[in-house]
């Protein structure tokens, strides 16, 4: 068994917490490696330009300097972690195989919401982990771990490996367990209505939004999926929505790099995630660039919303 050199107490502390919670050693090591990537990105974000670099990602979206820098940091960690066999990213157009004997493949959005950097809003990194190097044909329900890092006033990591959801907060370079068991309670009325433009083509979505307004729901939408989902997990309530339209039924958000990991985390916290017809966790992965509509949050709120929308 290959043990990593623990350069400081941080990895050991987080590693021990994950092992005590029942994580297999190789997966715990990988999660610590990913948390270390988040720590490095949190440092880079402060000094790297918020501007675009003139290149495009696999989805044809313009790349910010921090998209590229975050990708570099994650690739460096994925290439050194002995348990990673392959990885792919929202910034790549292929699966990067790093070692045939690797136990896991890793799929990430290195800097989700990078268009918010120039206005200094909170952004994040989203990661899903699968066993083996071949994810096509699997479902997000096959994930063995998922996490997101949020770069806000504080840097936090929300993670699961199937034993509930834990939050760690970066404190003076060290990861501290800040919430041992994140759970929804559905007591408050929050909503995060993404893709409001769809109301023009979707009278059902428009009617749903109207009902939240009439029901005096509190709007909590930042334009960043990570802070918007984090709001639901930390407040214990709410729904985030990003529907499709007749012209673009699959909408914008990516199954592998955004919706799948978020669905795993939300279900582990007692919530649910749907594409408007079935659970995101049951969607068959057919390509690395697959997109899906998403309705995610408290289970009752998701069920109610989906029942009132025409799939």
Given the rule CB under 6 A, which residues bind ligand P6P? 112-113, 115, 194-195, 223-225, 252-253
Q: Which is nearer to ligand P6P, 217 or 257 (CB)?
A: 257
- We find the least distance from the C-beta atom of residue 112 to ligand P6P, in angstroms, to be 5
Taking the least distance from each CB to ligand P6P, the nearer of 11 and 140 is 140
Taking the complex as a whole, the smallest distance from the CB of residue 172 to ligand P6P amounts, in Å, to 28
Nearer to ligand P6P (CB atom), residue 82 or residue 223: 223
| Nearest CB to ligand P6P, comparing residues 175 and 295 | 295
- Give, as one character, the DSSP assignment of residue 119: G
Q: Least Å distance between CB 187 and ligand P6P?
A: 24
The least distance separating ligand P6P from the CB of residue 79, rounded to whole angstroms, comes to 25
Cα 21–22–26 angle (5° rounding)?
120
Q: Cβ neighbours of residue 279 under 8 Å, at least 6 residues apart?
A: 141, 263, 272, 273
Nearest to 145 by CA among 124, 166, 164, 159: 159
Provide the CB-side half-sphere exposure for 57 (13 A, CA): 24
Closest residue to ligand P6P, Cβ-based? 225
Q: Closest CB to ligand P6P among 12 and 196?
A: 196
Nearer to ligand P6P, 104 or 212 (CB): 212
Q: Which two tokens stand for residue 171?
A: 């404190």
DSSP strand pairing (239-242 vs 190-193): parallel
Q: Can you tell me which residue has the tokens 């929804």?
A: 184
DSSP secondary structure of 154-203:
SEEEEEESSS--EEEEEETTEEEEEES-------S-EEEE--GGGGGT-H
Q: Are strands 239-242 and 218-219 parallel, antiparallel or unpaired?
A: unpaired
Q: How far is the CB of 17 from ligand P6P (least distance, A)?
A: 28
Q: How far is the CB of 142 from ligand P6P (least distance, A)?
A: 23
């Amino acid at each position: 068994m290959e043990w990593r050199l623990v350069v400081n107490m941080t990895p050991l502390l987080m590693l021990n917490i994950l092992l005590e919670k029942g994580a297999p050693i190789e997966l715990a090591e990988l999660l610590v490696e990913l948390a270390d990537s988040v720590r490095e990105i949190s440092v880079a974000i402060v000094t790297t330009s918020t501007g675009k670099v003139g290149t495009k990602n696999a989805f044809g979206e313009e790349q910010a300097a921090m998209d590229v820098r975050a990708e570099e940091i994650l690739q460096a960690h994925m290439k050194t972690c002995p348990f990673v066999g392959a990885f792919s990213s929202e910034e790549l157009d292929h699966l990067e195989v790093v070692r045939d004997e690797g136990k896991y493949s890793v799929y990430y959005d290195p800097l989700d919401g990078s268009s918010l950097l120039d206005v200094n809003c909170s952004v994040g990194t989203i990661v899903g982990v699968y066993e083996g190097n071949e994810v096509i044909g699997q479902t997000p329900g096959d994930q063995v771990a998922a996490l997101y890092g949020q770069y806000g006033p504080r840097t936090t990591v929300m993670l699961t490996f199937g034993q509930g959801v834990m939050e760690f907060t970066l404190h003076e370079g060290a990861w501290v367990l800040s919430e041992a068991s994140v759970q929804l309670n559905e007591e408050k009325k929050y909503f995060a209505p993404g893709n409001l433009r769809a109301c023009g083509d979707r009278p059902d979505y428009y009617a749903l939004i109207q009902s939240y307004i009439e029901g005096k729901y509190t709007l909590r939408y930042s334009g960043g999926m990570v802070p918007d989902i984090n709001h639901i997990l930390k407040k214990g309530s709410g729904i985030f929505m990003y529907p499709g339209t007749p012209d673009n039924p699959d909408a914008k958000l990516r199954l592998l790099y955004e919706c799948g990991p978020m669905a795993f985390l939300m279900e582990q916290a007692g919530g649910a995630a749907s594409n408007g017809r079935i659970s995101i966790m049951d969607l068959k992965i057919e390509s690395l660039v697959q997109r899906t509509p998403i309705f995610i949050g408290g289970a009752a709120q998701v069920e109610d919303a989906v029942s009132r929308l025409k799939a």
